[in-house]
Structure 1
């Protein structure tokens, strides 16, 4: 007598892992594209229309400068995952498990500090003092607009003060629309302080560190890899340029 076949249980698929959050500097990306385009335009012009050693000098200069410009503008990025923070700086890639990180500091630059005491700068998240001052001014306008009967000037001011008060209210409203806080009705909860964009990113990284630092999957060793793909062409261009200049 045959027994009915029982289907073997299908193995459960692993839970999908969340994608890393990627942070780059839009200003650096835009500046890098413009500088590279300008360099290539001038370089190819000298390469195809120059005479004598000019084409060779243009070629050596492009080989030297192209990876250098890309390294400091297009390459920097920060990848924040659930288990580790990966920092891609101009000439190094540092992989930092959250368990090895002791803090994230913001001063004149944003840095990550590890247990050994080493510090790694976050090139992709630059500190903008101008953005911080702008956020402080926006926060002051929002607080002024949130006060009952808040005014931006004295009672004896002319119509200019009225326009200033209107601008303050408008600025607070636009800040609320973009998530920067703003004026609110009486009895409402106070809005969060206005922060510069890079400071908001650092706040998120600190929250992730606090949440994931003790997790088993967030432990491991710090790895540092040098960007030979950037240094190699630069060294070749520098050697070629030095030979051409030495030849006179």
Structure 2
């Protein structure tokens, strides 16, 4: 008799909605200011605006849209502004949230989870709710802070899936040259234009 296979699910993702909204607003502002300078500027102004946009747009994308944590039963993929780290669950020693969210590998390397921001204000509100729930006899549900709930989910996945044969291996880091190259090109072009 064979045991039934566990169902396979698509990657779950954890990202910051306020970060995405902030990124949209920053891109709209950059398009407004930069577009105006490109269209109505005279002399070197359109060139400086183009170089500034080439520098600013990749950085806004890197810090607002790019950060995300993908997880499945085999691994955690941490996509931060300038690099992507693939961590098989067996290589994860701990997932924790103090002043920031981070994952620690078995060899002691720490990677920040940019897409799981820690809000100390939200954490204090959750603690007050839990205190009130403990003091009342009613079935008031106590919620934890968003980052703490996410970290608890990730920690539970790491503990449950670390022994899977498909979750073995070493961490793999890849730099985000698609973000770094245009930003550096914009910086160099901007410096050259400002220097002449």
After superposition, what is the alpha-carbon deviation per residue over 1:174-229, rounded to whole angstroms, capped at 9, x for unaligned? xxxxxxxxx32xxxxxx775310111011011111110111111101211000000
1:180-199 pair list within 5 angstroms: 183-184=138-139, 193-199=142-148
2:56 to 50, 54, 65: 65
- Aligned-residue offset at 1:143: 2.7
2:41 to 32, 45, 50: 50
2:30 to 39, 42, 45: 39
1:1-248 pair list within 5 angstroms: 17-146=8-137, 183-184=138-139, 193-247=142-196
- Aligned-residue offset at 1:124: 0.3
Q: Is the 8 A contact 2:133 2:141 kept in 1?
A: no
* More displaced 10-residue stretch of structure 1: 237-246 or 14-23: 14-23
Secondary structure of the 2:76 match is strand
- What runs of 5+ residues in structure 1 fail to find an aligned partner? 1-13, 147-182, 185-190
- Aligned-residue offset at 1:239: 1.0
- Aligned-residue offset at 1:246: 1.0
Q: Tell me, in whole angstroms, the C-alpha distance in 1 between the residues paired with 2:78 and 2:8.
A: 20
Secondary structure of the 1:105 match is strand
Q: Tell me, in whole angstroms, the C-alpha distance in 1 between the residues paired with 2:21 and 2:159.
A: 33
- Aligned-residue offset at 1:16: 6.2
- Aligned-residue offset at 1:105: 1.7
Secondary structure of the 1:82 match is coil
Q: Tell me, in whole angstroms, the C-alpha distance in 2 between the residues paired with 1:85 and 1:97.
A: 6
Count of aligned pairs between the two proteins:
192
- Aligned-residue offset at 1:59: 0.5
Secondary structure of the 1:111 match is strand
CA RMSD of aligned residues (A): 1.5
Question: Larger Cα Rg: Structure 1 or Structure 2?
Answer: 1
For normalisation by structure 1, the TM-score amounts to 0.74
After superposition, what is the alpha-carbon deviation per residue over 1:62-118, rounded to whole angstroms, capped at 9, x for unaligned? 000000011001100000111000000000000000001111121101110011110
Q: CA 1:199/1:15 → structure 2, altered by over 3 Å: closer, same or farther?
A: closer
- What runs of 5+ residues in structure 2 fail to find an aligned partner? none
